[in-house]
Structure 1
Amino acid sequence: MSWIIGPLLFIATVAGMEGFAYGAHRWLMHGPGWFLHKSHHRPRTGHWELNDLYFVIFAAPSITLLLGGVQWGWGDWTIWVGAGIAAYGAIYLGFHDVIVHKRFNHRYLPKSAYMKRIIQAHRLHHVVETKGGTVSFGFLVAPSPEALKAELKRRGHAGVRAATQQATPVSP
């Protein structure tokens, strides 16, 4: 394989994974796979949730392609595609689990307009606790928060989590 084709295939795979992730999130996770994904739209009670099984499920094609290319002679293209899927998984883990959901303690504060936009879009996705009525299914590409808020309003805020009551400090 040409020295330029492999890296281009890798980049195309990483980019294409955003489209795949959007479709899987919208029509699989918020469809027949809701029985696993609903744990992700509820307050987490421990370090793990059933939704974490999707990470294993979506890693399987990457592992298979990498093994196919390295061990089973399927061709170099499978290594580049498998690596692209794995790279997207790493980006997803860093953005989704570390930055947005803070599954690991950190002090990162988004400064760029892009990071603020995708974090807010993902949080707006999570205000809906139900299978339907959710907005913003992508991870690295998202509509503006204003558009998402308008869509939630248009839908009558169906499935939106009720605001939690915070204790009012009592004066001595």
Structure 2
Amino acid sequence: MNIVYWALVFFGTFFFMEFMAWFTHKYIMHGFLWHLHRDHHNKDHDSWFERNDAFFIFYAIVSIVCFYLWSYEDVWFCLPIGLGILAYGIAYFVVHDIFIHQRFKMFRNANNWYARGIRRAHKIHHKHLGKEDGENFGMLIVPFKYFQK
């Protein structure tokens, strides 16, 4: 029975992170921390790193704290929470930074309906270079209107 609880917490955390990505992007990145996110929409430097990368650090710290609480304080549910955050972070990095923005030159030739939908949705968001008017949605789950055959 413990494995069922563990799996529920892990997958619940993973899917909750999709909401957190949407919420953080809409109200924090395009809100009071726009100065960190702005260079993601309008690159104003020559560095491979962006100020926007600081947001990864926040979620990494939350995940690390969960691993600490599981390991040293014996809080069992912190392990699946920490792993759920980590798994979502890896998925987000692969889809957003590698696949969409090509920060590493991989998956260039992916051309199935899901790949086209993700690219189309992200292009619509990035057509707005300013703080306002950017359409917001999660990174892995986007509205069906972007998926055309």
TM-score by length of 2: 0.90
* Distance in 1, Cα, partners of 2:76 & 2:7: 11
* 1:21-42 deviation digits (Å, cap 9, x = unpaired): 1001001100001010001001
Check 1:110–1:33 CA distance in 2 against 1; reply closer, same or farther (3 A cut). same
1:30 aligned partner: 30
Q: CA deviation at 1:107?
A: 4.5
Q: Identity percentage over the alignment?
A: 32
Unaligned runs of 5+ in 2: none
* Distance in 1, Cα, partners of 2:52 & 2:114: 26
1:70 aligned partner: 71
2:2 aligned partner: 2
TM-score by length of 1: 0.79
* Distance in 1, Cα, partners of 2:67 & 2:129: 36
Q: Is the 8 A contact 1:124 1:136 kept in 2?
A: no
Q: CA deviation at 1:102?
A: 0.5
SS at match of 2:2: coil
Q: CA deviation at 1:67?
A: 1.1
Higher relative CO (CA 8 A, sep ≥ 6), structure 1 or 2? 2
1:149 aligned partner: none
Q: CA deviation at 1:8?
A: 1.7
CA RMSD of aligned residues (A): 1.6
2:53 aligned partner: 52
* Distance in 2, Cα, partners of 1:83 & 1:93: 15
User: Looking at CA atoms only, which structure, 1 or 2, has the larger radius of gyration?
Assistant: 1
Q: Hey, which bits of structure 1, 4+ residues long, moved more than 4 A?
A: none
* 1:60-104 deviation digits (Å, cap 9, x = unpaired): 11110111101222x110000110001000000100110001001
Check 1:107–1:13 CA distance in 2 against 1; reply closer, same or farther (3 A cut). closer
SS at match of 1:76: coil
